[in-house]
Amino acid sequence: MNESRKNQVSLRGASAKEITRDALLDRVNQERELRNYARRAKAAALLIQRTWRRHHATESAALLLREEWEMMMRRRSGSLTGVQMSVEILRPFLFFIEYLCVRLGKIGSRDRECMMSCFRIVLEDVTSKDPCKSFCSMTVGSIEERRLWFYQSKKLISVCLFVLSLFDYSRPRAEDIVLTSTAMHLSVILTDPKGWNHIPLDGKKDANAAVKNLIKFAGSKRSRLYDCIRKFILTLETPFSSKDLPKDDRFVIIASAITLSLRPFHLTNIDINEKATMESAIQQYCISMLTIPWFPQRLPAILVPALRHKSVLSPCLRNLLILKEKILEEISEMDQLKITSRKMPHVGWALANVVCLATESGMSSADLGKFTESLDYSSYLHVVILLAENLLVSLENSTQRKMKNKEIGVDYDPSAESFLDMDETTCGSPNLSYLDLFRPISQQWHLKELLAFEKSVSICENDSLSLGNPEYSSKQGLLLITYYYSCILQLFSALGPVIKSFSVLNMLSFTPGFLPRLWGELEKSLFHDNIPIANTNLASSNTLTGDRSGGISGRRQKSLSKETSNKWVNMLHKITGRSPTENDPIDSVNDQTSIGHIEEHPSEEWDIESLRQGPEGISKDISRLLLLFCSSYSHLLLILDDIEFYDKQVPFTLEQQRKITSMLNTLAYNSLSRGISPRYRVLLDSAVRCLHLLYERNSRRQFCHHSLWLAPGKNNRMPIAVAARTHEVFSAADGAPSPSEGSAITTMPHIFPFEERVKMFRDFISMDKVSRRLAGEGTVPGSRSIEIVVRRDHIFEDGLRQLNSLGSRLKSSIHVSFVSDSGLPEAGLDYGGLSKEFLTDLSKVAFSPEYGLFYQTSTVDRHLIPNTSARLLDNIMGMFEFLGRIVGKALYEGILLDFYFSHVFVQKLLGRYNFLDELSTLDPELYRNLMYVKHYDGDVRDLVLDFTVTEESLGKRLVIELKPGGKDICVTNDNKLQYVHAMADYKLNRQILPFSSAFLRGLTDLISPSWLKLFNACEFNQLLSGGNHDIDVDDLKKHTQYTGGYSEGSRTIKLFWEVFAGLEPKERCMLLKFVTSCSRAPLLGFKHLHPAFTIHKVNCDTPLWASFGGPDVDRLPSASTCYNTLKLPTYKRSSTLRAKLLYAINSNAGFELS
């Protein structure tokens, strides 16, 4: 800029800085905005002044009118015509009441008196028989009179509803009761021309038309009819006691409110133009009334049938389907007003109220109920499905919102674990909760009625009643019922208390023929008759068990239907139509043999093509069928005993059971290996639960070949290394994920052959040993190994004293120094053999029944189980922890122990529950007795049983209650199934739980629980004690070592293998036990026997001609079990070698023969 222009001289004669163009524009804009703001502020001030002046003037006019109206009412004498009533009484009254009461939302004492006076005058006028002196006579007058009547009647009804909305039923005052009852009486009279005594016959049509228009207004959203009634009903107590009906007019208020709310439903002769208006009224009823918590329970019982009438319920159901988007959106908006509330969503109350209104059944489970007369089953089922699915979505969104708030720490109350406010969901009584409203659904009559209707009529033949969704419009019959119950089960699961769903599952499981029908639909949809099922000699098992009954007589069926609460067991026979007396259930209890010869089929043949993509590859219809079937059948399997499952084959034959297993195995494997979306988790959890129950039953008593349990399609099976890594990752995760959140190997390890899982187990141990070395454990001087001194005649006590406190340090190697019976140290160094001898000898002592810690079961297997009488010993739990560590050490080092634990005990070690049929492996006599009680056809009271069990301890008889107060509860036909399972639970779970828990604590110090869960109970015993089959001669020969001068080509060695191959299988096992102290071979072969099987040469002087018939070596073979070594003299003849071997192994001696 030019220097001469830096300073400018203004016209004012003073020097000023030059203003830029942008600054000038900004200043101009600011000044313009200030002027606009001032102009708007002035206009707003004028508006406020005008409004206030108008309000003040109106209020003054209203107050003046009220005074004049009160004076007029005091001076009034004689009757008025209808027009006079309208002009002189109603016009000023409606004006000042609107401004002095309605707009302020309160009623003063003077206004209450004015209302009472007006309402009484109008009531007297309406009921007058003089047609010229009645307000309602204006409905048949001129057009202007009709319009005036309609306008003022609308205002009157609005005032009456306003009075109702302010009435608090729980804290009423006498004057409020009189005012509200009078107002509701007036509303009912105005909307019912039958109560008008003055209308001439030729004016009935006009009067009805006027009332019809008035009712249409009442049903509109502008009248706020349903909002006011909702507000009033919410003040009613729940549940309403009909025994204590109020003696004042409060009952009239309730009845009038309900009557007024149902007026739009009873309109007749509605044309097409008026139909939309009526649908709007029904829509408001559904939104405001059906979403009231405990709606039917808040009302006197005498009023509920009016709500259940087909003229009310059917239009509601129909409109819920036709206008579902709009109705559900408005209901959702009601929830959004309280977004942080923990109350039940309004759609949940709509669902519960629809179920209550559609069914007529008491809250007691023993009550026999029925559906509301003329109920539209199709609409009912579709509406329940619609509302239940929306409620599930709402609950899921609320849970996600709660978890999100928990993550960010906003508005999260750690003490508020429950999503729902129990004050709202318990109906004022702790004995009645929200889920109890669905009790009719869990009663058998409910399902029978639906199935009967499904057989006679196609449920979805009316397309207009579909949900507007192609996936619903085609659903018919059984499929729609399946959708219905699967939604209910999902709802019960989402709301938390699992016990509440038991009643529904009981009903579904025991309803005759329902499960077979579900399976029939699944079989047709999934198998297409192309899956080969293994042929077994059980195909004709029905004939073998004496199925001589083609069904149950009609009288028998009728009797059973009346006694469903106490005939659970007989229901199992009804499922398949078999007679409960067709065979003797007790005679077959001991038949625990294998299920004949089951042909093996490759796993590819069990691979169901339609399930290869998991739930994602099947339709929603099939997934719903699967969910309901798996949930119901898994529940039935919990109480289905082996007699019913294997002998009577109810509800399915064994061939069908194999198909079911194949379906579940394929579905679960493909779902877990591919991953599924969250919406299928409930289905997968149910399928896995059902599969596990079938697998446990098959593990105890086989009904299908082991190949069926493997991963379907061998080529699709994941590599064992990948599976092992996956198992480690999921096992290390915090918490116990549900099956749907785990992996295939953690959820269903049986998909891999047993041998591969054993290899995986050994690999885990090898990796653990490596990780310990890398972590420096055992590398500190003096801690590389554990040095102990053990007296042979006190091996258990010394081991307990020196090793029990080590915990996981017991994984380190043990160096044992033995002290002989004479008290002298035994010579020798421990290079692993002595520690093996220590573990095997200690196990023989501790697990011997003579020692008293364990006893043998009364079955032929003579398996070991904790002796509960030992609980009186000092430090008994410490002893069991020590034994757990000894077994863990044996598993950790791969040392085989020569005994089997009871199936019941191992199940507890694996963290699994023992069910009724496990009792047959523990106490067959008690099992037979319980089966006798369960299948007893007479009155169980004759057996004089109660819910107690008697035990003897130290000569004293102890009475133990199976349930609280059990000694005072008699076993009857109603509760005999509870008694049977309570007794089994005590014997199989509760009684041995302290011992198994202590044993498990010691076991898991060395063996990770996740490693053990790779196996079932039978496999655990094999892992501990080796295989129970014959010895593989070639495998043993291949992995045998020779010392002392022997070699594979030595003459005596050749003779040994010749003799060994010729022994009986039992004799070979005895020889193996003679050498290794265990009669069973290692599971993965003798390659994994440590130390290796060794034959050591014992030189003996024999003449050369001993090979040709002279005297042979007279010395017996001996063994060193700690080194798995057979000390074999140099026999010359096979006959001598065989005789000496058999003598040695039958003498049950080792070193003594040396």
Closest CA to 820 of 852, 794, 802, 785: 794
Helix axes 346-358, 377-408, angle to 10 degrees: 150
Q: Cβ contacts of residue 939 below 8 Å, gap of 6+? A: 972, 973
Structure tokens at 314: 């059917």
Name residue, tokens 């044996």. Answer: 890
φ/ψ of 912, rounded to 5, equals: -115, 155
DSSP 618: S
Structure tokens at 366: 């023993």
Structure tokens at 1025: 């004690």
Structure tokens at 1004: 């898991």
* Residue 255 identity (one-letter amino acid): A
Name residue, tokens 């192994």. Answer: 1145
Q: Map residue 1118 onto helix, strand or coil.
A: strand
- Tell me the C-alpha distance between 480 and 465, whole Å: 13
Closest CA to 154 of 87, 217, 82, 220: 217
- Tell me the C-alpha distance between 446 and 267, whole Å: 32
Work out whether the CA dihedral 109, 115, 118, 123 comes out positive or negative.
Answer: negative
- Tell me the C-alpha distance between 129 and 178, whole Å: 25
Between strands 854-856 and 359-360, the pairing is: unpaired
- Tell me the C-alpha distance between 994 and 992, whole Å: 6
Work out whether the CA dihedral 305, 307, 311, 317 comes out positive or negative.
Answer: negative
Length of the chain: 1154
Helix (H) or strand (E) holding 1128: strand 1125-1129
Closest CA to 1057 of 1030, 1034, 1027, 1084: 1034
- Contact criterion met (CB below 8 Å) for 948 and 962: yes
- Tell me the C-alpha distance between 442 and 502, whole Å: 9
Closest CA to 658 of 645, 672, 671, 669: 645
- Contact criterion met (CB below 8 Å) for 285 and 350: no
Catalytic residue at 1122? Answer: yes
Structure tokens at 156: 């009157």
φ/ψ of 1119, rounded to 5, equals: -145, 155
> Residue 1095 pairs with which residues in a beta bridge?
1042, 1126
Between strands 8-9 and 1094-1098, the pairing is: unpaired
Q: HEC states along 833-873?
A: HHHHHHHHHHHHHHCCHHHCCEEECCCCCCCEEECHHHHHC
- Contact criterion met (CB below 8 Å) for 225 and 282: no
- Contact criterion met (CB below 8 Å) for 480 and 460: yes
Structure tokens at 905: 């005990």
- Tell me the C-alpha distance between 683 and 670, whole Å: 13
- Contact criterion met (CB below 8 Å) for 839 and 889: yes
Longest pairwise C-alpha distance within the chain? 154
Considering only CA atoms, give the Rg of the chain. Answer: 43
Angle at 571 between CA 570 and CA 574, to 5 degrees: 95
Angle at 868 between CA 862 and CA 871, to 5 degrees: 140
Residues with active-site annotation: 1122
